[in-house]
């Protein structure tokens, strides 16, 4: 594969990762709105209904019991935290994606720093909650950071002189 083909392929992967980040950001914003409009009691009712069949078959099912326990411990203050966190996270990632896609000045370093701070926060939360999704999200953010860096390097090499 020629150097030009490699750069084009990397750029395709880069744009696909930006689209995935943008979709994730949009889902976080929508999720924060849905969560804001959903009372904690409704969350408990929904999780209880979703886990009822599994707990009937196996009253010791660890996943179902975990989900039910988490829903029952979901307070109004916890809900407010997640609404603010999801909305903030989604808005910042949306701005990062738009800036990178449109090649706004300083979007590369600011996007890298923003994603790096999210990785630090997600790894901290993982140390507290041990939620594997946080590791997967952090790994994806690190991949996108590498793609941002590589795309900036490719673009710099394209410039004459």
Q: What is the residue extent of each domain of the chain?
A: 3-32+76-158
Tell me which residues of the chain have a pLDDT lower than 50. none
pLDDT computed for residue 117 by the predictor = 93
First to last CA, the chain: 25
Asked whether the beta carbons of 129 and 70 are under 8 A apart, the reply is no
pLDDT at residue 161 in the model? 55
What is the per-residue pLDDT for 160? Answer: 66
Distance CA 129, CA 148 (A): 29
**Residue 72: what pLDDT?**
87
What is the pLDDT at residue 113?
A: 94
pLDDT digits (tens, 9 = 90+) for 122-150: 899 889 878 787 898 899 889 889 988 88
């Amino acid at each position: 594969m020629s150097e030009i083909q490699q750069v084009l392929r990397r750029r395709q992967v880069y744009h696909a990762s930006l689209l995935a980040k943008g979709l994730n950001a949009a889902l976080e914003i929508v999720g924060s709105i849905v969560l804001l409009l959903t009372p904690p009691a409704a969350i408990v009712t929904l999780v209880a209904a979703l886990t009822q069949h599994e707990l009937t078959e196996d009253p010791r099912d660890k996943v179902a019991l975990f989900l039910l326990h988490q829903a029952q411990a979901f307070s109004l203050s916890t809900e407010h935290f997640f609404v603010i966190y999801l909305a903030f996270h989604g808005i910042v990632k949306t701005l990062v994606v738009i800036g990178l896609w449109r090649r706004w000045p300083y979007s590369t370093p600011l996007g890298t720093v923003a994603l790096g701070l999210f990785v630090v926060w997600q790894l901290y939360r993982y140390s507290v909650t041990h939620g594997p999704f946080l590791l997967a999200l952090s790994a994806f953010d690190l991949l996108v950071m590498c793609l941002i860096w590589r795309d900036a390097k490719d673009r710099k090499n394209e410039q004459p002189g």
